[in-house]
Amino acid sequence: MTSSRPWALAGVVAGIGGLAASYLCAGLLTIRESPVVAVAELVVRLTPGPVAERAIDILGSRDKPFLLSAVVVVLLGLFALAGWLWSRAWWQSVLLWVALALVGLLAVLGQRGADVTDTIPIGVGLALWLVLMLGLAALLRRDQAQTASEEAPGRRAFLLAAGTVTLVGVALGSLGRMVGNRKRAVQESRRLLRIPGVTDPDPGSRNRIGVRGVQPWRTSNQDFYLIDTTMAVPAINPSEWRLRIHGMVDRELVLTYQDLLDRGLSEAWVTLNCVSNPVGGPLIGNAWWSGILTADLLEEVGVSPRADAVLQTSDDGWTCSTPLEAMTDGRGAMLAVAMNGEPLPIEHGFPVRTVVPGLYGYVSACKWVVDLEVTRFADVTAFWTERGWAERGPVKLSSRVDVPRSGESVPAGRLRVGGTAWHQQVGIAAVEVALDGGPWIGADLARQGSKDTWVQWAATLDVAPGDHLIRVRATGEDGQVQTGVRTDVVPDGATGWHEVDFTAEEA
C-alpha cells in the first residue's frame, strides 16, 4: 500500500460516514429523500430531453438504479480525492468537502416544497465528514511518524477503515428499518383502505381474441408499465394528502382525500400509453380505473374562459401541462383513486393520480398529484415540454404484433398471428396484416370495450418454410389509416408499422 492509499481510503471512510449520518438524519426527520437521491433527481432535472430519451430507450426501468449507482461511484471517487488532498493541503480537502455539501444543498433546495428542515441532513453530513477526516488524519500522521515497521501505516489504516465501515453498516441497517417504516405504514394504510363504490368487473371473453401469447386485454397492476422521474417514490398517507385547485378560477379549492371520495366515483376501462413507447413497444397497458371526474371539480371552481391548460404538479415536483378541454370535455378524465378494483399501488400514484383518456402520459398522467393550476399554455412550461417534447400529446393510431415474437421459430403451414391495436378517443375499425410485403389481409377483431381501450386482433396466414416478415396496420373509426412512415418518439410519439421477422420450419 503506497503512502497515498491510506489517505484516499480515509477520505472514502469519512465520506461514507457522513453520508450515513445524513441518510439517518433524513429518515429521522421523515424527509422523503436523502441528499444522494436529491442529487440524482437534480441530474434528472438538468438532463437534456434527447439524452433522457436515449437513457430510457437503452436502460428502460433500470435507468434510475443506474443513475443512483453512477452518483455513488462519483462520490466515492471524490471522497478518495478529498482524503488524498488532506495529506498535501488540508484546506484544499476542506474546500472539496464544502463543495460537495453545496451541491447537495442546491439539489435539496431545488425540490418542491423544500424548507430549512430539509437542509439539516446536509449540515450533519458535512460536519461528520470533517470530524472523521480530522480524526483519521491524526491517526495516519501518528502512524507515519512511527518508523518501527513499514507495514504499520497501511495495516492500521485498514483496520481503522474496516471498523468504521462496520459501524456505518450497522447505522445504515438501522436507518433502512426506520426509513422503511413510513413506506410500510402507508402500505398498511393502503392494504386496509376500503373505497366505497369501487368495483372489479370481469372484462369477459369477448374482449379476448383467443390467441396464446397476445398480451392480456386487462393489464394487471404488477405488469402495468412504470415510467416516472422520481428517484424515491412518494409515500403519502391518505389522511395527509391534499389537492389544491387554483389559478384562473373564480374560487380556489383545497380537497382532502375524504372530500374527494365524498363526491362519488366514476369508473372506466382506459388504455394508457407512454410517449416514449417505440413502434411495437411495451409501454402501454389497459386497466379499470375508478375516480372522480375532473370536469365536475373544474366546474365547481369556475374556470376562466381565457384558460386553456391545467398545470399538474406531483408531490415530488414533477409537472405536466394538460389541455383544459381534455379535462372538461366529457371524455372521462379523472382523479383516479383505484386501479383494477383496488387502491392505487404506491408506485402508480397512491393515493391519487390523474388519468386522461386519449393523451400520452407526459402531458396528462400525473402520479401523486397534489396541485392543479388552471392557466394558459402561453404562461407555463412543464417537465417534458421544457426538454423538447410537444405541448400537446394526443395518442396516435398504432398497432402491434404480439404473436409470433421477433426471431421466433414456428411450424410451417397455417399460422395464427395476433396482437393489439389502439386509437383512444377514436376507436379501431379494422386491422390488416401483410406477409413478406404481400397484399394486406383483414384480421378478426375482438370486442374493443370502448374507444378508449385497445383491441385484440388475429389473422390466419399460410407460411412456407423459410424466413418471413409480418407487418400490421390499423384503421381508426374515423377512416384514418395508420401511416407506415417511421418517426421517432420525440416530440410527440412514434409512428410506423410494426414488423416482426420469424422463421417457419417443416413440422
> Which regions of the chain are under pLDDT 70?
1-3, 28-33, 53, 56-57, 60-61, 113, 143-182
CB 119 within 8 A of CB 38: no
Look at the domain 398-505 and name its fold.
Answer: Immunoglobulin-like (2.60.40)
Residue 475, all three cell numbers? 384503421
Please state, in angstroms and rounded to a whole number, the distance separating the CA atoms of residues 289 and 275: 20
| Per-residue pLDDT, 2 | 47
Is the CATH code 3.40.50.300 the one for domain 213-387?
no
**Short-list 332, 364, 370, CA closest to 350:** 370
**Short-list 247, 257, 250, 270, CA closest to 424:** 270
Please state, in angstroms and rounded to a whole number, the distance separating the CA atoms of residues 88 and 11: 13
Please state, in angstroms and rounded to a whole number, the distance separating the CA atoms of residues 2 and 122: 32
Q: What is the DSSP string of 389-415?
A: --S--BPPPEEEEEESPTT-EEESEEE
CB 363 within 8 A of CB 321: yes
What pTM was computed for the model? 0.78
- Which single residue is written with the C-alpha cell 447505522? 171
Please state, in angstroms and rounded to a whole number, the distance separating the CA atoms of residues 240 and 53: 34
Q: Domain-by-domain residue ranges, the chain?
A: 4-190, 213-387, 398-505
| Per-residue pLDDT, 206 | 86
| Per-residue pLDDT, 115 | 72
| Per-residue pLDDT, 309 | 97
| Per-residue pLDDT, 162 | 45
| Per-residue pLDDT, 26 | 75
| Per-residue pLDDT, 143 | 67
Residue 278, all three cell numbers? 417505440
| Per-residue pLDDT, 40 | 78
Please state, in angstroms and rounded to a whole number, the distance separating the CA atoms of residues 185 and 157: 42
**Short-list 350, 374, 86, CA closest to 221:** 350
498-505 and 409-411: which strand pairing? parallel
- Which single residue is written with the C-alpha cell 390488416? 432
Q: Is 425 helix (H, G, I), strand (E, B) or coil?
A: coil
